[in-house]
């Protein structure tokens, strides 16, 4: 007789989230490590939901810039936190989509009945980035470890050249093209004719919305102060269109007068960590925990960017229509859009692509334009341009922020149905991960 | 005219050939003025050559080729190069070997070569022709495996300032026609090449021509700085065309402005597909964005 499988598919919900404020690179968290920050984010979550000594089904998190000694970063963070040491954990690394991917894969496990609770998260530091030794030194040391005789050892050592002693810091260039992410986006920004004004306007809205969310106390139960920071260090509530317009282009300078990407409309390098508590409905109810939203669905996509067929950060443009077709939804069915602001141009190029009839017909295989995103529903509590973007921590920030927003709107009752939210995160390597959440 | 085949016992040493070439260069200036105006009829042949696995792996890593067991087309060029060089280093070769400029390289890779295949290499020179700046020659190398020819490369070289009697300069409509102005496309890649790249490519290809090795050795030969091997740039472009090209293709490159090291080379690779959407060819070009000068231009195309 075949094995009887336990549970059919059930719902996975967001109970809540916690993050530490995001710091600018070489700012408030200069001396703290990925492990420090991820542990701090977990401990804040434990405190908020009374999870001390709780054995969570599984914890998944990751860091994009990760030292090889942190091979079990997430498990180590669990061991350093107040969670039960019997909580298993694993690391995920999918560039900037790491955080959202942990949310989706853990919620799938909950849906399948394999676990009842989970914590998804991510962390990154550019201040405390791993530095590696040069290829020459690495090879010589490996050869040395294989050497058996003194002669072989000396030969291995003799291969080391003075230049091999220079350490190597991680770069931001795509391995296959040598172009930085900003240079890639500059090409996409130009291709889609996104203006400097439109990018600056989006960046201003991000700062305005994030500042307003802090003002009304929206982040009070989403954030734990850390190392003296109570708000994201990059937030400039008082920045003006004039100040934004005065910044000089930093990417795509070879485009001359068409160069439009500045330090204001591109995300800065940032340090930070985030965590999201996911559960089955029963697990949350048994502990009298809130339920903010349901993780409905997710989709990953990748584009062939290497020879410029598509822009490096355009994968979500392909992922969203595929996911919505499966759900029988259109862009008009959503109340909130969380489109990660890697660069203002990334968001605007995605919106432009979805409105472009030819592109949608030829590349997305649709009958016409995919649709329009109502700008009043876009990143209503600010996004990465204002908050910063510690790569792997962004997915957790977005998932928790959107879940709370959906919950508030659903409770307001004005829609006559649960509020719906769409998340889109682009990632290095031409990838993107997107998700649909529904409020409770 | 009778064709002669010269059997070489093993792959010639390139470093020795370069030393001989330097001595020859001096001697040629004096003695060959009125002598050779014809190419030698000889074909140089080496039997049973096997690629070296460690060097192949180092080559693959340096060029960005996946470390497959199939030998990249550019590595086969490097493997055949000493045989080709030995033809050009012959006493009866009418042009000075040192200072030759690599103008163009065309390779047909017909059948994939595995690293442990026993290969048979033959090289000869043909098509001596006038060029507006001197005299050009084609050096052909053919590699055969157990089942016949698998790879064929034609390298065009220019001996600058060498005008041989009996070979007319090209007319106004010939090779001297003006090049059209280069308008750089948008880059799809950016190569940051350090001064070491000449030495590193020499290490994996065996081509230790002094103009690539260091500023000092390049200066000794009259260059302001060392330059990247043309075949490094061509082979890297070939690698970056990617897996879509498959195992057999035609790879063609023309070299223009030399890449003085260190360098930032902007690169564009454009893919073309046939009516069925299958890969047909990729055109590539590399240039210096500051000076607007083209370094190389070429293509990789399906073998028809």
Q: Which of B191, B269, B282 sits opposite A178 (nearest CB)?
A: B191
Query: Same domain, yes or no, for A336 and A396?
Result: yes
Which CATH number does the domain housing residue A199 bear? 3.40.47.10
| Selection from A25, A410, A313, A346 nearest residue A206 by Cα | A346
Query: Tens digit of pLDDT for each residue in B92-146?
Result: 999 988 778 999 999 999 999 999 999 999 999 999 999 999 999 999 999 999 8
| Cβ-based contacts under 8 A for chains A and B | 40
Q: For residue A378, what are its two tokens?
A: 């876009």
pLDDT at B221 exceeding the cut of 70: yes
CB A356 within 8 A of CB A395: no
User: CA of A177: which chain B residue's CA is closest?
Assistant: B189
Helix axes B73-88, B14-31, angle to 10 degrees: 40
Is the CB of B272 inside 8 Å of chain A's CB atoms?
no
* pLDDT for A351: 98
Cα dihedral A179→A180→A183→A184 (10° resolution): 70
Residue A421 within a domain = yes
A-chain residues near B188 (CB < 8 A): 177, 179, 306-308
Give the model's pLDDT for residue B173: 43
Mean pLDDT of A360-387: 98
For B155-184, what is the mean pLDDT? Answer: 73
Contact A210, A185 (CB under 8 A): no
**A154 lies within 8 A of chain B by CB:** no
Tell me: do A339 and A304 sit in the same domain. Answer: yes
Q: Residue A307: list chain B partners with CB under 8 A.
A: 188, 242, 269-271, 282
> Could you say which of A207, A340, A389, A407 is catalytic?
A389
pLDDT at A159 over 90: no
Same structural domain, A159 and A301: no
Question: B189: which chain A residues are within 8 Å (Cβ-Cβ)?
Answer: 176-179, 306
Tokens 């986006």 locate to A185
Shared domain check, A405 and A333: yes
Judgement on whether residues A403 and A376 belong to the same structural domain of the protein: yes
Q: Does this model's pTM top 0.80?
A: yes
- Top residue of A136, A163, A306 to mutate, by most chain B CBs within 10 Å, is A306
Residue B9: predicted pLDDT? 84
Mutate to test the interface with A, among B187, B214, B285, B286 (most CBs of A within 10 A): B187
Q: How far is CA A273 from CA A207, A210, A290, B51, B189, in A?
A: 20, 18, 22, 50, 32
- Please count the other Cβ atoms lying within 10 Å of the Cβ belonging to residue B124: 22
Binned at pLDDT 50, 70 and 90, residue B180 comes out as confident
Reported as half-sphere exposure (CB side, CA atoms, 13 A), residue A368 has a value of 3
Question: Do A359 and A210 share a domain, yes or no?
Answer: yes
A389 is catalytic: yes
Write out pLDDT tens, residues B245-259: 999 999 999 999 999
Answer for the pair B120, B158: CB distance below 8 angstroms, yes or no. no
How far, in Å, CA of B277 to CA of B101, rounded?
A: 38
In which residue are the tokens 């957790």 written? A396
Question: What are the structural domains, with CATH classification, of chain B?
Answer: 1-178 (3.10.129.10), 182-304 (3.10.129.10)
A25 pLDDT band (50/70/90 cuts)? very high
> Is residue A174 a part of any domain in this protein?
no
User: With an 8 Å Cβ cutoff, is B299 touching chain A?
Assistant: no
Work out the percent of chain B whose per-residue pLDDT is above 90: 70
Residue A217 near chain B (CB below 8 Å):
no
Question: Is the CB of A307 less than 8 angstroms away from the CB of B282?
Answer: yes
Mean pLDDT score, A280-293: 98
Q: Do B192 and A178 touch (CB under 8 A)?
A: yes
CA distance B10 to B52: 14
Supply the range of the domain harboring residue A155: 135-165
Interval A215-241 mean pLDDT? 96
Q: What is the DSSP letter of B35?
A: S
Query: Does position B174 have pLDDT exceeding 50, yes or no?
Result: no
The verdict on a CB contact (< 8 Å) between B190 and A178 is yes
Q: What's the pLDDT at B170?
A: 60
DSSP string, B235-266: HHHHHHH-GGG-S-EEEEEEE-S--BSSEEEE
Can you give the pLDDT at residue B18? 78
Mean pLDDT, residues A57-86: 96
Q: Which residues of A touch B282 (CB under 8 A)?
A: 307
Q: What is the mean pLDDT of residues B32-50?
A: 80
Q: Phi, psi (5° rounding) for residue A431?
A: -110, 165
CB-CB neighbors (< 8 A) of A187 in chain B: 186-187
Measure the CA–CA gap between A108 and A335, rounded to whole angstroms: 24
Q: Tell me, what's the pLDDT at B4?
A: 84
**A227 falls within a domain:** no
- Output the pLDDT for position A161: 84
pLDDT of residue B176: 46
Inside any domain, residue A200:
yes
**Domain identity same for A161 and A300:** no
Could you tell me how many residues make up chain A? 440
User: Average per-residue pLDDT in chain A?
Assistant: 95
Residue whose tokens read 């016409």 = A368
- Which phi and psi (to 5°) does residue A297 adopt? -160, 165
Domain annotation covers residue A62: no
Query: Is some CB atom of chain B closer than 8 A to the CB atom of A55?
Result: no
Among chain B residues, CA nearest to A184: B188
Token pair recorded at residue A308? 């410029």
Residue A97 CA to residue A241 CA, distance in Å, equals: 30
Count the domains in chain A: 2
Is A40:A28 a contact under the CB 8 Å cutoff?
no
Split at pLDDT 50, 70, 90, the class of B27 is low
Note whether residue A353 is domain-resident: yes
| pLDDT (mean) for A196-222 | 98
- Rounded to a whole number of angstroms, the distance from the CA of B288 to the nearest CA of chain A is 12
pLDDT digits (tens, 9 = 90+) for A127-154: 888 777 788 888 888 888 898 999 998 8
Nearest chain A Cα distance for residue B86, angstroms: 32
Q: Output the 3-class SS for chain A.
A: CCCCCCCCCCCEEEEEEEECCCEECCCCCCCCCHHHHHHHHHHHHHHHHCCCCCCCCEEEECCCCCCHHHCCHHHHHHHHCCCCCCCCEEECCECECHHHHHHHHHHHHHHCCCCCEEEEEEEECCCCCCCECCHHHHHHHHHHHHCCCHHHHHHHHHCCCHHHHCCECCCCECCCCCCEHHHHHHHHHHHCCCCHHHHHHHHHHHHHHHHHHHHCCHHHHCECCECCECCCCCCCCCCCHHHHHCCCEEECHHHHHHCCEECCCECCCEEEEEEEEEEEHHHHHHCCCCCCEEEEEEEEEECCCCCCCCCCCCHHHHHHHHHHHHHCCCHHHCCEEEECCCEHHHHHHHHHHHHCHHHHHHCCCCCCCCCCCCHHHECCCCCHHHHCCCHHHHHHHHHHHHHHHHHHHHHHCCCCCCCEEEEEEEEHHHEEEEEEEEEC
Q: Is A190 on the interface with B (CB under 8 A)?
A: yes
Any catalytic annotation for residue A360? no
Clarify whether A96 is annotated catalytic: yes
How many angstroms separate the CA atoms of A78 and A56, rounded?
10
Q: What is the Cα–Cα distance from B16 to B97, expressed in whole angstroms?
A: 13
A301 and A346 belong to one structural domain: yes
Q: How far is B281 from chain A (nearest CA, A)?
A: 12
DSSP letter assigned to residue B227: B
Smallest CA–CA distance, residue B57 to chain A, in Å, is: 14
Q: In chain A, positions 285-314, which contact chain B (CB-CB < 8 Å)?
A: 306-309
- B 164-203 residues with CB below 8 A of A? 186-192, 196
A63 in a domain, yes or no?
A: no
**Is residue A326 a part of any domain in this protein?**
yes
Cis peptide before A156 (omega within 30 of 0): no
Of A255, A240, A118, nearest to A190 (Cα)? Answer: A255
Check CB contact under 8 Å for A307 and B192: no
Three-state secondary-structure class, residue B205: helix
């Amino acid at each position: 007789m075949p094995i009887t499988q336990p549970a059919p598919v059930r719902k996975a919900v967001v109970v809540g989230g916690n993050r530490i404020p995001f710091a600018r690179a070489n700012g408030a968290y200069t001396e703290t490590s990925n492990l420090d920050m991820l542990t701090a984010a977990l401990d804040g979550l434990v405190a908020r939901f009374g999870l001390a000594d709780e054995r969570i089904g599984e914890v998944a998190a990751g860091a994009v810039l990760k030292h090889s000694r942190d091979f079990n970063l997430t498990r180590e963070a669990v061991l350093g936190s107040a969670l039960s040491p019997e909580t298993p954990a694993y690391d995920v690394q999918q560039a900037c989509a790491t955080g959202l991917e942990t949310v989706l894969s853990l919620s799938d496990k909950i849906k399948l009945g394999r676990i009842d609770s989970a914590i998804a998260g991510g962390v990154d530091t550019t201040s405390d980035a791993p530095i590696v030794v040069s290829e020459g030194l690495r090879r010589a040391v490996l050869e040395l470890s294989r050497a058996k005789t003194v002669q072989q050892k000396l030969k291995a050592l003799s291969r080391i050249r003075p230049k091999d002693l220079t350490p190597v810091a991680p770069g931001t260039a795509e391995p296959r093209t040598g172009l930085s992410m900003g240079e890639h986006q500059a090409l996409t920004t130009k291709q889609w004719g996104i203006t400097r004004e439109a990018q600056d306007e989006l960046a201003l809205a991000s700062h305005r919305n994030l500042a307003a969310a802090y003002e009304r106390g929206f982040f009070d139960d989403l954030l734990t102060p850390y190392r003296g920071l109570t708000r994201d260090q990059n937030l400039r509530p008082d920045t003006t269109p004039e100040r934004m317009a005065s910044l000089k282009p930093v990417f795509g300078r070879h485009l001359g007068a068409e160069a439009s990407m500045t330090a204001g409309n591109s995300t800065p390098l940032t340090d930070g960590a985030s965590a999201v508590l996911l559960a089955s409905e029963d697990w949350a109810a048994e502990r009298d925990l809130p339920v903010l939203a349901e993780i409905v669905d997710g989709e990953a996509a990748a584009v062939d960017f290497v020879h410029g067929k598509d822009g490096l950060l355009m994968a979500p443009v392909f992922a969203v229509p595929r996911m919505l077709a499966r759900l029988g939804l259109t862009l008009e069915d959503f109340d909130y859009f969380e489109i990660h602001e890697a660069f203002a141009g990334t968001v605007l190029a995605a919106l432009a692509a979805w409105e472009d009839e030819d592109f949608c017909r030829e590349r997305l295989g649709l009958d016409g334009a995919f649709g329009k995103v109502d700008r009043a529903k876009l990143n209503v509590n600010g996004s990465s341009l204002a908050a910063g973007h510690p790569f792997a921590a962004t997915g957790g920030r977005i998932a928790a922020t959107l879940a709370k927003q959906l919950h508030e709107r659903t409770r307001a009752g004005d829609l006559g149905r649960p509020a719906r939210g769409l998340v889109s995160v682009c990632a290095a390597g031409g990838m993107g991960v997107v998700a649909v959440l529904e409020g409770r | 005219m009778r064709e002669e085949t010269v059997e070489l016992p093993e792959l010639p040493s390139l470093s020795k050939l370069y030393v001989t070439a330097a001595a020859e260069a001096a001697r040629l200036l004096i003695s060959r003025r009125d002598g050779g105006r014809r190419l030698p009829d000889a074909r140089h042949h080496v039997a049973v050559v096997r690629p070296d696995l460690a060097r192949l792996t180092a080559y693959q890593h340096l060029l960005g080729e996946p470390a497959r067991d199939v030998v990249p087309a550019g590595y086969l060029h490097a493997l055949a190069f000493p045989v080709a060089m030995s033809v050009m280093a012959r006493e009866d070769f009418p042009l000075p070997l040192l200072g030759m400029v690599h103008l163009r390289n065309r390779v047909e890779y017909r059948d994939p070569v595995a690293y442990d295949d026993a290969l048979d290499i033959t090289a000869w020179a043909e098509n001596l022709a006038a060029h507006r700046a001197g005299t050009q020659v084609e050096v052909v190398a053919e590699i055969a495996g157990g089942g016949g020819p698998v790879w064929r490369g034609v390298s065009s070289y220019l001996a600058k300032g060498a005008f041989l009697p009996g070979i007319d300069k090209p007319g106004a409509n010939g090779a001297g026609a003006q090049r059209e102005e280069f308008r750089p496309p948008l880059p799809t890649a950016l190569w940051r090449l350090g001064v070491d790249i000449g030495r590193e490519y020499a290490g994996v290809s065996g081509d230790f021509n002094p103009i690539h090795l260091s500023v000092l050795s390049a200066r000794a030969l009259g260059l302001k700085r060392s330059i990247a091997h043309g075949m490094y740039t061509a082979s890297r472009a070939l690698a970056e065309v990617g897996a879509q090209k498959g195992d057999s293709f035609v790879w063609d490159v023309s070299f223009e402005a030399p890449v003085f090291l260190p360098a930032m080379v902007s690169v564009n690779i454009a893919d073309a597909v046939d009516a069925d959407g299958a890969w047909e060819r990729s055109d590539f070009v590399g240039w210096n964005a500051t000076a607007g000068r083209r370094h190389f231009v070429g293509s990789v195309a399906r073998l028809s």
